Structure formats: C-alpha cells, structure tokens
C-alpha cells in the first residue's frame, strides 16, 4: 500500500533534494537502534565530528550535527550568533533565501533585505555600499545562500569576504550551503565564513534528518553573548556534552550516524575535489542540453551558473508544472517544480549528490520526451547529444577500476 | 570499523530508549529518497496524520510530525501555546522533568516548580492548592511528564484533569508522553490533555527522528496568540501546508514516514490495548524479579509503578554505573544508567517498545549474572523464576498464530 | 573493501542477467532466517506455488522452486523426465543452447543436435523432417531454448507444438525459458510445453538462487519411469513434501521466498501482459538505436528478434570485449560480453527485468560514448534519438499514477 | 500479508538451522545484483576461496562454493569422488545420516550401512572390523556426519582417521560437517578428511543457498576418474573457471558472496577458536539446564555430546511436537521437532551460529514455561539457574569492549 504509486524500473530522482542515496549508505543505515550512552556511539561521534569538518574545508570550525532539517540549521545559525533586533544584511534572490529571510524576521532580527531579480545572484555592489556606510558596524551579520536552489544561482562568497576585509567590517558571515556543500567549491576557512550549514539529504546524499552546522571561533565567541532564546538549537548544550565526551545532549539517530560515516567514507574514497569536478561536469552537460533544446536557463549570467541545479525557463504557452507532473506520471522521472515567482515558468533539474553521467543522460532524454509531450518542438536527442559530446571528452575513468 | 565493538549474537537493548525496532519497520525504512512534492508523499502523509491520532486516543486533536527529537517536541509544545513570562506549574520528579523545566526557564517562562523526591510522583496536592488559590487564572499551563524515564514513575493524569475541572481552571495541560505513549494507557481526549508529545525512538519502536506532537482544539486556539518566537517549530507553517494538501513546510525524512507507516500497521495488528497489556506484563514481571533479588524499586509506591522502565536501587557498596558497564562488556546487554541525583545509585531496565517475554527473561538472567559479578549476593535464577511464574500465567497466545 | 570498485552514482546493469532488482524485492529480502518447519513458511509456500504458475501461463502444471541456478533447473528438467540413452532433438543456436546440449550429452542422453548459424533461430524445418521420419517415436524429447541469451534470438515455440501435433508425435517439449519467462510471451498450456524452466535472477528480477521448473501432467507422468539417477533434483521428493503440506525436502532460502512473494506481487500489480509489452518496447527501442548507429544486430531476421537481449555486431576492427571493459571502467555501465563463437564480435545489451525507458536511454547514450571511445564513428545522440522517438509514441502512463 | 504470523518482539530462533544471521551479514546482503563477469566479482571470489579454507582448517584443500543446499553438497561430494557401485561404509545414527544414506543408495552406490541406536555415535568398532577385513580395499569411502543434527551426537573423526591409518586403508573420508563446521572443532588436514561440506545457513549464520564443499588433493585426484554422472555438481567445471580466473561456471548469488565475505570477517574478528569455545559454553549450559529440569539428553554418552544441538527427551506422556508448537504460538520461540524415530519423543534446542549467552538463557526460560504449559512439573528458573551458574563463571569479556 505504501508503495501504491509503484512504477516499473528505477525512479529517476532529479529534484534538488532529497537526492539519490548511494547503496553503501543505505546498507550502513539498515540497522537496529543502539544505546547512545554506550562507549560505541561517542567513539563513532568523535571521529565523525573530526571528519565532517572536511566537507566545510575548515580546520578551525566546530561542527554541530543536529537532528533537524535545513530550516532548523538556519535557526540554529541565527539564534546562536545574534540577539533580537540585530541588523542582518540578507540577500533575496529566490524562494529559499526568501524563506530564510522570513525566518530572520519572525525571529525578531532587523533584516536589511537586498533583493535581486530571480535568476540573478546577490547584489554585492549593494553590499559594498552598505559596508562602506556602516562605519558604526551596525550590521551584525551577512546572511547569504551559497546556492539558491530555486533558481540555480551560485553566489560569489569569495567576493563577500573580500568586501568585508576591504572595509575591515566585523560582521559575521552566515552561509546557507544546503545545496552547495559537498558539491560546489566551498572554503569555510579561506573565505572567512563564520557559520556554514547544510542538510544531510542534499549533496551528502543521505536521508533527511541531519542539519549540519559549522561555527568559526568567532561565531562560537558570539554565541556566548547572543541573546536569542534557544534550547533545542543551543550550541552551549552540545559544547557541554562535547566536553564530557558523551557528545549528545539528546538522542541522536543511530542510523543517520552510521549513514554519515558511510557517506564520508565515500567522499573520502572519491575525493572531495573529484566530487566537485563531477558536479561541474554534470552541471555543464545539463546547461549544454538546455541550450540545445533552445530553452533559457533561469540563471542570467554564467558567473552565477549552478552546478547543482538548473532551472529551465519554459515558453509562456507551457505550464512548467505540467512538465513535472507528466515526467512523474509517464517516465518515473522526478523533476523540481518552479516555486513562487517562477512557479509555472521554470522546472528544475537537480544534478547534485550521488549521480553519474549516464543517470543524467537518462534524465535529459526523459526531459526531451516530456517537452515533446507538452507541445514544445524539441528535437529528440538534441540535448543528449550536446551533453554527451561534452561528457565524452571530460569524464575520467573511474579511479578504482583503472 | 564502525562496528568495532561487535560482540557475537544479538545486542540486548534494554535502555529506555532508543528501543528495539521491529524487523518490518527496518525493512520499510530500507529505501531510497523520494521527491516529497510528488503526489505519493502527501497521500502517505495524509493517512499517517489520521492514523497517528490513535496512539494519543484522540479524535479532536491535530498531530504534527516534526523532524526532531523529544527535546524539540517539548519546545514545539511550549512555544506554540505560551508567551514569554507565562506562568507554568511544572513538576520536578526526575532528570527528564528537570530538563524540561530547564527548557521552560530558558525559554523565558515563569516556572512554578513543584518538586518531589526522586522516586515519587508529581505532588498533586500541591497542584490542588495552587489551583484553589489561582482564582485569577495566572497559571497558564500545567507541564507534566506522564512517565518519568529517570526514575520509572508514572503520574496520574486523570487526577490532574479532575482537579482542573473541580476548580474550573482553564490552564492548558501539556504532557510529555515520551516514555508512555504507545505503551501505557494514555487518553488525550478523555483526560483533556491539550498537548501531548512523544518521540519515534520510544514506544513507537522506530529510530530517533520524529517528534510527534498532538494539539487539542484549545491548544490550537492558544497558538494563535502565543507570542513565543518560533519558526522551525511553528505549528502555523504546518497548518498552512496541511491546508494546501502538501503537508510539509520543509523536507521530511522519507524513510521515517514509511517506517511510521509500518510501525502504525504493527500497532494496529497487535491492537493498542494488547500492546498496553503487554507492557503491563513486562513491567510486572520486572518488578517481581527485582523483589526476588532483594533489591528496591526506586519508585516508592505502587500507584506510580511504571510499566515502561524500572529503576533498580543498588546497595550503597555498589556503583550502579559498574553494573551498566559490565553488562555491556560481558553480556552484550545495554542497561540504563542512573542519572543526576540517582547516578551510581540506580540502574534502569527499559521494558518498552517492541519486546516480548523471552527477551525480557534473557535480560533479567543477564542482570542476575552481572549483579553476581559486581559482588551482590544474588541467587542466580531467582528473578527469572519469579518473573516466569507470573508470565507463565499471564501471557496470551499470539493471536495470529492460534 | 568488498566495494573497492565503487564508482559514484548508480551502476547501470545491462547484462542479460543477473538483472536489476526492484527496491520492494530487496526490502522483502532484508530479513532474518526463520524456521521453515513452522506453520508460516508452508503457508507462504503454498500460495507461492499457486501464484508462480501464472508466469508460465499454466493451470495444469506443477511448479518446483529449487534452490539452484538455471544450470540446475536444466538438470532437473532432463533427469526427471528421461532415461540414459533417450534420444533428444536439441537445437544449437548459441552459447546457452550449446551448454545445455553439453549437459545433455554428459548426462548420457543421445542428443540429436540441430545446429544453426549463431544469429539464427532453431531450424524447425529440420525438426519437421525428423518428426516425419520418426514414426517409431524414438525421439523422446525436444529440448529448445525459448530465447538464446548469447545471440538475442527468440525461437517460435508455437510452431514446435504445431509440428508435433501435425505428426501426432508424443515427444516431450522441454523449454529453457531462462531469458524469456516473465518478459516474453510464453504460454505453457497453450503451446503444450511439458517442462519449462527459468531462474530467479532473470526477468523475475531477483537475486540468483531459485531455479523454477514447471512440469505438465505428461512430464510428471514421465518422471515416474525416468531412470536417470537424481536425488537433489528429484521431483519425487518435492511431491512427497507437497503431499504432506510441509513443501520442502530440504532447507529453502527464507529470504528468496519472501523475495519471490514480492516479485510476484509486483508482476501482479503491473500485469504480466503489460510487463511483456514493456519488454517489447525496450527491445524495439534498442534495435532502433542499433540501426541508427549503423551497426548490425546479430539476429539475422526479424522473426527471431529478442525483446530481452540484443547482441550488437561490431566492425571487425573493434574488439567488442574492449567495449564492455571500457563501459564499466568509464561509465559504470555493465554490458554483456560476446561468448564463444561471437567473442570479440558482439557485445550484448540486456533489456530484461525491472527496467524502464529512461534507464534504457541512459544505457544507450552510454553505449554511444563508448563506441566513440573505441573508435567507431558514431553520431552521438543518434541512437538515443531513434529510441526516444519510438518510446515517446509508445510508452503508456504509469497506471498507478494516472 | 507475508508477515501474517507476526508476533511482538523478536522471534527466538533455536532450531538447528537455519540460524540467526548477524546484522552485519544482513546488511552486507542488502544489495543489488551485479555483473558476475565484471572484474569485481572474480576479485571478491578469489579472496573468498582463500579465506573459506580456514573454516575447514585446511591449507591443501580446494573449496567449491556451490549455489545449493546441504543435500546438494552431499551429492557433489559423492558424485565427484565415486563411481556407481562403489562400496561406501556409512553410519546411520539419526535422520540426517539416514537421508544421506538414502541419497547414496539412490545414486547407485553400494552402501554398507553401520547402524547405531539413535542417540549413540557411529560405531567405530564396526568400522575397525570392516577395515581389518577389507584387505582388498573394496571400501572406497567412509561417509560420516561429524554432528548428527537430529539427535545431537558428535562423532569422533580423529578416531576414524586413526583407524584408517592403522590399517593403511586408502578409503576416502567424506564428512558431512553441516551442523559442525564453524562451531565445533573440525580439522580437515589434521584428520585427513577428503571431502568436508557445510551449508551457509548453519554455523556460518547466513541464509540458505551456499553448499560449501572442500576437497583434499586425494579427493580431487579421485574426481578425475569418478564415473558418476554429474554436471551441475561437477567440480571439473569449477576448476576450469578457477583456471581462467573467472571462477563461476554459472551465475552465483551476488548477495550471498558479499554475505559470505561479511560472515568470514566476523569469524576472523571473533577468532575461530573463540567461536568454538562459545559453542562449548552454550552447549554445556544447555545440558546443565536439561539436567536441572530432570530431563534426559537424547545423546547417551558424554563423549558424543554436541555443542551445536541438544535433543531433549520428554516423558512418554508428553508429545514433544506439542512443545514445539506451543513455544511458537505463545512465546515466539522456534524449537526443533523430533524427526522420524524420535518424532514426538524429543524436541531440539539448536545452539549454533550467531548466538550469545543471554539469548540462550531467554530460550531456556521459554522452554521452562512451555514445559510447565504442557504439564511437565518443571521448577521455573531451575534450568536457567543451572545454566547461568556455569555461564557466569565461564563467559569472557567481549574482546572488542575491554
């Protein structure tokens, strides 16, 4: 019954999260509960906390593995570092940055919203202007998504850091890396990010359930004076249990811990830089297909192209929701809907996580058939051909099989 | 490596959470991610929300299945129904009620703590006195654990309701049912409970990850004016998505949803009242064993005996922590530690969730051997014999096998 | 370590067996052992034996679910129906019919081999001639593969029956349906097949481990006098336990029984005729791609085209083994090798079992890239386009999702 | 539906096969099919074939991992080493030796049966007499079960070897180690065993599906001239594929190969000698419980006591079948039935495989309650106490947890 929408063959999961889980991770999670106060779980946790830093490219950060989602990780980030009324400069460039801003406002912060047209990146010129003017350092934090999942736009975090340095501005940099970390090039220490966060169901390729937040020493320091009320999300409780060596202020998911172990092992085996390169390949191939179909990328400039998700603009006579519905009903293909301002106007291809070239080509061939079905005059095979031409030149041998 | 503490045979998991997961639930969760915006997941969720009410014995309540733990479910309960400064009468009877009270204080409520000796239940005489005096209705809520997991004490919720009715007091009744719901007799509607909560890793016998909160119409009404800041835990967002029929304000764990489906199916198959009877059997048998060993139950009176967890007091010359450590090291048996005030003084046998008579007897025989190992003059077989004598008379045939 | 050839993303499994297992089958098999002498396993078996007949399209047949492989199922078929020295007319058309013939010879039968060029079907004219001449009925059995997995050739069993009827010849018809049953149109009763067999790892889409053999009443009758020595494969032992209602002469795999239950449930849900149609679609699409690439199908005539496996002939300057090796090393794609006479000359695309359109298109796009890599001047996208054009017109909506 | 006999809690599986599977093995098998002709599977197989020798304590033997059951492994052993008409001295001491003898007779060998009363071991005095007389070496093989699963009798293989050596008799020694290997002390090389066999679902603690046969150099030599017809079970085919480095003459179960890998890893981790010691402990404890209950062990002398299965004789006024039925129906406990001559007279406790002390004590307490239920005047707790007294003195700390 629970499987009543079963279709033959594999479901082609191309939403930008939750994403495909590698079989070894599913296997690792196929297990009983355990006493999390036995010596085994702290021992496992200790190594996980050490290893998880690598996905943030940090050595100085302190990670928190919280039983929550990305939304909870946002809340953990904000309430631990800021006090009600604090001014945050926040960039609205799509549905997920909008939701984060909504949260910031509801939590009582003073949000200074910098809006861009959906399809464009964060307006860093405006940031610069604000920083220049803010000699009194009223801006306590910059909140920015590394990758806006709704539009497929990647922001330039290195520039954010450069601007802050240029104006010697002490604002905290809070980064939503939900659809970037483990897939795009992200450098917490190098870019001076103060809090970065992701969710397990994104590029880590696990089930939903872990909000992973990493705090710089400066963020940890800020948490000592931040006045936002918090308990479940309070880093202090975690730090207390870190100190004691038992690690968990409340019950963790045993299954997700072993799943995280397996996921990190796979990342280690493939190599994080190879993972990032793979995402570059898959993103580029997708964009070439979109171009070959004669369709527009929602992302307006190459500098913002996202290698984890591509939002494809459909002609005005087509409802992109129909594409998503039809793909699922006829080809067992899950695509992402257009959200809010771009609802009906774009559909999204998520190409992040545990995915390879032929999976993507299968998806692209499915999109072509769906486009034809909804009345768009696509040349079948055109997108696949363009993507394959590129992939055929760029895909390396699988290292373990050479 | 992740399994480096492997011991031959099955781990005997007798902590009061997380508990043993039934194989059909593990199987149901052994799966890929899915697009939670496809029609399948809302359809599944809709039925889950309907069926999950049964574990609360409510027809008028509104459930929220939140990706969090019990601590998060507490926070959801409090912040959605109360405003900072609101007066809560709260009962401190052990470590978990203490932690909840700590949360209440940190969230800015005015907590009126009624403390009992650990091992005794909530002092309802004091509650009566407070209600009698509170003609101005300054008490906004009563916060009480149904079952204190640290001491194995079950509170009498029916009496709480009776007192409120007697004084026509409108205070909300907020119940932590973490170690009771699905195991002990709990009646949300009949007892006029306004918010009840549990966690998936307790008597539901699933992995950690779902905080399940159920709100009465009165609690829902209160949530409209409650001023506590909240976003991740805000019921409003859930209700908005319920309305839309998409159900999830953020990504749920696909695996836990199917796991919950399987868990509820098993509850339905066994019958909730049979489940409760089974827990009565297991609790009684455990207490008989403790008595046979000549040891004391931490719970001071029969009226508070818990059928989900028994805290056993050890003689003063024994450190109960040694018992727990030794059980795990020699017999692959996980027992619960004594916490805080009773650290070193009690160890706990969790007998909740997916457990049967022979599993318990195996555990009890293990406890006997451990007691002997740590120098307590137990007669091996004595507790098992006492428990078996009772179980042999009270265990029914398995209905599906008659 | 066991996964040391891990490559990112899903393995694209397109060998003609073992094939892709549906997730619900993997889930059903994720379980402990059980006592096969408890009432539960016979009850399960009883229904399985009834339901498994459907895949043979028989009501009068008696199935045997044997813990073995296809090779064992062959042996069971032969030794239970024939005596040493018995004359069998057997068709050699590829590697698997060759192996079966080898077995027939080694088991002491008098095998009258009718050989065809590899790529052609069984020569039924020769069969007719032999039947015509065999007025003494020295031919005891016709042994024929329904589908030769090495060359992708499907034989015409209806004609075999027609010839036997025409000459009123009593020879038994023994059919290897390993790569046909559950995928191609197979009609045991209508075609008067006496023994048909398949293996669990083929179109049933399970792990290897069950040889499923179905015997007509005439075959059962023959087994009473057949003098071939046999014990493990002896139907008599099975029949004795069927009679007793305990079903198993020796220990079955509990996991495979539950897996078979799940596999049959999925077949029931999709509908066997829909499954067959799906294979027709996938087979046709594959052949259109091969044509678009300018390559030759090993199968020489349309009447023999197989909808479960396509053997593709490569130009003489290419070693087809390199294609298979390269596909695995670079694209995580498993293709079938050319065997024996066609080693190096063909590679095989298995398109049977739990597979859908986009999986196939992903595979075809991979084959294109591999062809390019090994120096064949393929136009990337050409095969996918041809296949997609056909699939786009012929793929129905998924019934459960309409 | 497939789980319609679900009972709450864990099933206590104490039949002497199939036995409890360790969770890491279940996890390892939770996987897709793979191309067994890819480089990965031969690489895995190569190491498995090397490592599996350890369970036989052989360095000179050649193992065959056959997709079959114990019955098939018997057949493989016989047909590869002997010719029809060959004389075998075979010991009938219970149901499984009887079935093997039946197979030997049906396969056309000249079986010289040496029968013992059920409950006694093989009569080696008779063997000595036969060897003494057989100066012409008409005895081609000795076929003997190491452990008779029906009666819980372990034969003395060292003595068999001694006798053969004493008379310089060249007969092959063929040993059924189905319920001994990986649990009892078995020494293929030291005892000069020529073929030893086991099944995966016994002490290896895996699902059914692998018949593992190991041949000495002398047995391999014999296979070159043995005239028994065989194909599926023919070692020659395996050896041919060993030579080629592809290892499999037909499709193996991918899942069982990875399961075997995990099972051997666990054996390695625990240490085979520790595994054997654990079985000694569990067997001794069981016998002490039987004694405490005032019941008789079917095994008549201590020298034959089995550490993997205990057959318990019930008083004549009780039908042992009722005990087995009742245990399953009321306590979710699976015990072994009495078979053939001892049907109704004994029930069996299997204590082999992945099992620890508390599991056994849970089982023993269940047996006590069942005995009481069927009217035997057992003192509840008596058996458990006796077993626990012994286990409490003999159980070591779990090495990985010290």
Write out chain D residues lying below 8 Å of B398, CB-based: 5, 7-8, 329-330, 332
D401: contact with A, CB 8 A cutoff: yes
User: CB distance C251–D199 less than 8 Å?
Assistant: yes
Residue of C nearest to D44 (CA): C2
User: CB distance B18–A231 less than 8 Å?
Assistant: no
Spatial separation of the C-alpha atoms in residues B207 and A205, rounded to whole Å: 19
pLDDT tens, position by position, B342-399: 999 999 999 999 999 999 999 999 999 999 999 999 999 999 999 999 999 999 999 9
Place of tokens 């492989």: C69
Averaged pLDDT for residues D338-355: 98
pLDDT above 90 for D353: yes
Q: What is the mean pLDDT of chain B?
A: 97
pLDDT of residue B5: 77
User: Please, are residues A385 and C385 in contact by the beta-carbon 8 Å criterion?
Assistant: yes
Burial of residue B85 (CB within 10 Å: 0-12, 13-18, 19+) is exposed
Q: Which of B365, B387, B375 is nearest to D388 (CA)?
A: B365
pLDDT above 50 for C291: yes
Spatial separation of the C-alpha atoms in residues D271 and C310, rounded to whole Å: 49
| Window 354-393 of D, Cβ < 8 Å to C | none
pLDDT above 50 for C206: yes
pLDDT above 70 for A345: yes
Q: Which of B32, B265, C23 is nearest to A208 (CA)?
A: B32
Q: What is the DSSP letter of D314?
A: P
pLDDT of residue A1: 43
Write out chain B residues lying below 8 Å of D365, CB-based: 358, 361-362, 365, 384, 388
B201: contact with A, CB 8 A cutoff: yes
Q: Which of A323, A351, A296 is nearest to A149 (CA)?
A: A351
Averaged pLDDT for residues B156-182: 98
pLDDT tens, position by position, C248-276: 999 999 999 999 999 999 999 999 999 99
Write out chain C residues lying below 8 Å of D38, CB-based: 5, 328, 334
User: CB distance A31–D27 less than 8 Å?
Assistant: yes
Residue of C nearest to D108 (CA): C229
User: CB distance A207–B255 less than 8 Å?
Assistant: yes
Residue of A nearest to D25 (CA): A27
User: CB distance B251–A18 less than 8 Å?
Assistant: yes
User: CB distance B253–A199 less than 8 Å?
Assistant: no
Confidence band (pLDDT; 50, 70, 90) for B4? Answer: low
Averaged pLDDT for residues C312-338: 98
Confidence band (pLDDT; 50, 70, 90) for A5? Answer: confident
User: CB distance C330–A366 less than 8 Å?
Assistant: no
Confidence band (pLDDT; 50, 70, 90) for D5? Answer: confident
pLDDT tens, position by position, C117-175: 999 999 999 999 999 999 999 999 999 999 999 999 999 999 999 999 999 999 999 99
pLDDT of residue B1: 43
pLDDT of residue A3: 57
Residue of C nearest to A31 (CA): C30
Beta bridge partners of D90: D113, D143
Percentage of chain A exceeding pLDDT 70: 99
pLDDT of residue A6: 83
Query: Which residue among B39, B75, B253 places its CB closest to the CB of A232?
Result: B75
B207: contact with A, CB 8 A cutoff: yes
- For B81, other C-beta atoms within 10 Å of its C-beta total 27
D75: contact with C, CB 8 A cutoff: yes
User: CB distance B33–A19 less than 8 Å?
Assistant: yes
User: CB distance C21–D5 less than 8 Å?
Assistant: no
A261: contact with C, CB 8 A cutoff: no
Write out chain D residues lying below 8 Å of C202, CB-based: none
C330: contact with A, CB 8 A cutoff: yes
Place of tokens 């992995």: B207
Q: Count H helices and E strands in chain A, helices first.
A: 13, 14
pLDDT of residue D4: 60
pLDDT of residue D261: 97
User: CB distance A368–C386 less than 8 Å?
Assistant: no
Confidence band (pLDDT; 50, 70, 90) for A143? Answer: very high
Q: What is the mean pLDDT of chain A?
A: 97
Spatial separation of the C-alpha atoms in residues D62 and D57, rounded to whole Å: 12
pLDDT above 70 for B30: yes
Lowest mean pLDDT among A2-11, A164-173, C354-363, D36-45: A2-11
Residue of D nearest to C229 (CA): D107
- Chain D closest CA to B77's CA: distance in Å? 31
Residue of B nearest to D23 (CA): B10
The residue with greater pLDDT, C231 or B7, is C231
CA angle B123, B125, B127 (to 5 degrees): 80
Output the six-digit token pair for A23. 């079989």
Interface A-C: count of C-beta contacts within 8 A: 184
Percentage of chain A exceeding pLDDT 90: 98
Query: Which residue among D3, D269, D331 places its CB closest to the CB of B6?
Result: D269
pLDDT of residue D129: 98
- Chain A closest CA to B14's CA: distance in Å? 8
pTM given for the model? 0.98
Task: Tell me which chains share at least 3 CB pairs under 8 Å with chain B.
Answer: A, C, D
Task: Tell me which chains share at least 3 CB pairs under 8 Å with chain D.
Answer: A, B, C
- Chain D closest CA to C354's CA: distance in Å? 12
Place of tokens 């059995």: C141
Interface B-D: count of C-beta contacts within 8 A: 184
User: Please, are residues D171 and D163 in contact by the beta-carbon 8 Å criterion?
Assistant: no
Q: Which of A380, A278, A362 is nearest to C367 (CA)?
A: A362
Three-state secondary structure call for residue A184: coil
> What sections of D203-314 are H helices per DSSP?
217-223, 235-244, 254-270, 272-292
Burial of residue A127 (CB within 10 Å: 0-12, 13-18, 19+) is buried
User: Please, are residues A140 and A169 in contact by the beta-carbon 8 Å criterion?
Assistant: no
User: CB distance B249–A71 less than 8 Å?
Assistant: yes
**If DSSP states are collapsed to H, E and C, what string results for A328-391?**
HHHHCEEEECCCHHHCCCEEEEECCCCCCHHHHHHHHHHHHHHHHHCCCCCCCCHHHHHHHHHH
Confidence band (pLDDT; 50, 70, 90) for B310? Answer: very high
Q: What is the mean pLDDT of chain C?
A: 97
Instruction: Mutate one of D275, D361, D367, D374 to test the B interface: name it (highest B CB count within 10 A).
Output: D361
Averaged pLDDT for residues D297-304: 98
Instruction: Mutate one of A6, A16, A18 to test the B interface: name it (highest B CB count within 10 A).
Output: A18
Output the six-digit token pair for D306. 């089995």
pLDDT tens, position by position, B69-115: 999 999 999 999 999 999 999 999 999 999 999 999 999 999 999 99
Buried b (16+ CB within 10 A) or exposed e, C346-358: bbbbbbbbbbbbb
Residue of B nearest to D353 (CA): B9
- For C146, other C-beta atoms within 10 Å of its C-beta total 28
pLDDT of residue B264: 98
| Window 21-40 of A, Cβ < 8 Å to C | 22, 24, 30
User: CB distance C389–A380 less than 8 Å?
Assistant: yes
Q: Is A348 annotated as a binding residue?
A: yes
pLDDT of residue C3: 57
pLDDT above 80 for A2: no
Confidence band (pLDDT; 50, 70, 90) for A169? Answer: very high
pLDDT of residue C5: 77
Q: Which of A48, A56, A14 is nearest to A256 (CA)?
A: A48
pLDDT tens, position by position, C41-83: 999 999 999 999 999 999 999 999 999 999 999 999 999 999 9
């Amino acid at each position: 019954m629970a499987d009543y929408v079963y279709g033959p063959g594999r479901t082609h999961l191309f939403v930008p999260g939750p994403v495909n889980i590698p079989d070894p991770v599913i296997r690792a999670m196929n297990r009983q509960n355990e006493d999390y106060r036995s010596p085994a779980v702290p021992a496992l946790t200790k190594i996980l906390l050490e290893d998880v830093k690598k996905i943030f490219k940090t050595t100085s950060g302190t990670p928190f593995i919280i039983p929550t989602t990305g939304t909870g990780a946002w809340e953990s980030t904000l309430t631990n570092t800021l006090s009600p009324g604090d001014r945050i400069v926040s960039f609205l460039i799509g549905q997920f940055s909008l939701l984060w801003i909504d949260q910031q406002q509801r939590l009582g912060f003073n949000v200074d919203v910098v809006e861009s047209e959906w399809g464009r990146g964060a307006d860093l010129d405006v940031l610069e202007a604000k920083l220049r003017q803010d000699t009194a350092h009223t801006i306590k934090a910059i909140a920015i998504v590394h990758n806006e999942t709704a539009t497929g736009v990647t922001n330039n975090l290195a520039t954010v850091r450069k601007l802050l340095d240029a104006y010697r501005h002490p604002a905290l940099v809070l980064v939503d890396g939900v659809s970037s970390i483990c897939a795009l090039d992200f450098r917490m220490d190098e870019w001076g990010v103060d809090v970065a966060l992701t969710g397990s169901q994104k590029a880590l390729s696990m089930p939903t359930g872990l909000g992973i937040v990493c705090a710089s020493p400066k963020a940890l320091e800020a948490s000592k004076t931040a006045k936002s009320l918090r308990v479940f999300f309070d880093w202090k409780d975690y730090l207390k249990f870190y100190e004691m060596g038992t690690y968990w202020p409340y019950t963790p998911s045993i299954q997700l811990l072993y799943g995280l172990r397996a996921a990190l092992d796979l990342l280690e085996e493939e190599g994080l830089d190879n993972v990032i390169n793979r995402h570059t390949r898959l993103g580029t191939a997708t964009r070439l297909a979109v171009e070959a179909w004669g369709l527009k990328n929602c992302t307006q400039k190459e500098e913002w192209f996202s290698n984890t998700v591509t939002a494809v603009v459909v002609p005005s006579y087509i409802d992109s929701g129909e594409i998503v519905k039809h793909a699922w009903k006829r080809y067992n293909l899950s695509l992402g809907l257009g959200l809010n301002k771009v609802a009906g106007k774009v559909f999204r291809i998520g190409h992040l996580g545990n995915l390879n070239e032929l999976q993507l080509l299968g998806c692209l061939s499915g999109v072509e058939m769906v486009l034809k079905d909804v009345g768009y005059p696509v040349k079948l095979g055109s997108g696949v051909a363009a993507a394959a031409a590129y992939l055929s030149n760029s895909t390396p041998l699988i290292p373990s099989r050479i």
